[in-house]
Amino acid sequence: MNRLLASLPQDLQQRMNDLGSRVALEKSAVLIEAGARQTDVYFLCSGLVSLQMMTPDGNSVGVAMVGREGVTPPLALASTPAAYTTIVTVSGDALQLPADALQAECEQHPALQRALIHQWHAMMSEIALGSACHRFHTSRQRLARWLLMASERIQSSRLELTQEQLGQVLGLLRTDVTVANGRLQDAGAVASRHGRIRILDRARLQTVSCECYTYARWTGTHH
């Protein structure tokens, strides 16, 4: 179950379930296009989505991720264009609600409003942390951090991701991902084959990762 919804009073949980519908999230599906009107929100129950900044020449970089701890977008304003493109990175399922229905519920239920604001704050912190990480840390460090955070979001040491997909979320060329991933394998931290990555040694992967991973856990940015 979605952890944000689980934190709400029981009657409000039921209300949200009645308003929404369970949908499957297909890998690589685009949930929200940047610049498009935000008509729906998704409370993830499993899987992982990435908020990506897209450039006119087709390049991209992930600025944040959302798993079963939250909702995307965290503060949905139906009349406001989406700032980022939201793409399913790991398939799963979610409770889909109309954005205007969520807004109406927020006006009536302070507990829901507080939960959404808390997640919005955590996401903004993650975006800021990711910007600094992208600027100052190596490809190998960034890949290690992303794998740690993603695996905790989906509660699995196995991720089905191609190097091209990793390049998209990390803002790296595929060749750079190949080199970084190879170094993680040489260190005995991960095993990678045919679009599948398995974390073998979390402690070693944390050692390779930059301090951003530890900082995210300390500040509550990472759930």
Give dist(CA 152, CA 173) in Å, integer: 25
Superfamily name and number for 3-99+109-133: Jelly Rolls (2.60.120.10)
Q: Does the predicted model carry a pTM greater than 0.85?
A: yes
Q: How far is CA 117 from CA 4, 57, 132, 189, in A?
A: 11, 33, 23, 36
Give dist(CA 87, CA 90) in Å, integer: 9
Question: What is the CB neighbour count within 10 angstroms for residue 75?
Answer: 18
What is the chain's pLDDT, residue by residue, as a tens digit (223 residues)?
Answer: 899 999 999 999 999 999 999 999 999 999 999 888 888 999 999 999 999 998 877 788 899 999 999 999 877 555 678 888 999 999 999 999 999 899 899 989 999 999 999 988 888 888 888 888 888 999 999 999 999 999 999 999 999 999 999 999 999 999 999 999 999 999 999 999 988 999 999 999 999 998 888 877 655 555 5
Q: Given CATH 3.20.20.210, say whether it is the number of domain 138-219.
A: no
Which residue type, as a one-letter code, is found at position 68?
Answer: R
Span(s) in the chain for CATH 1.10.10.10: 138-219
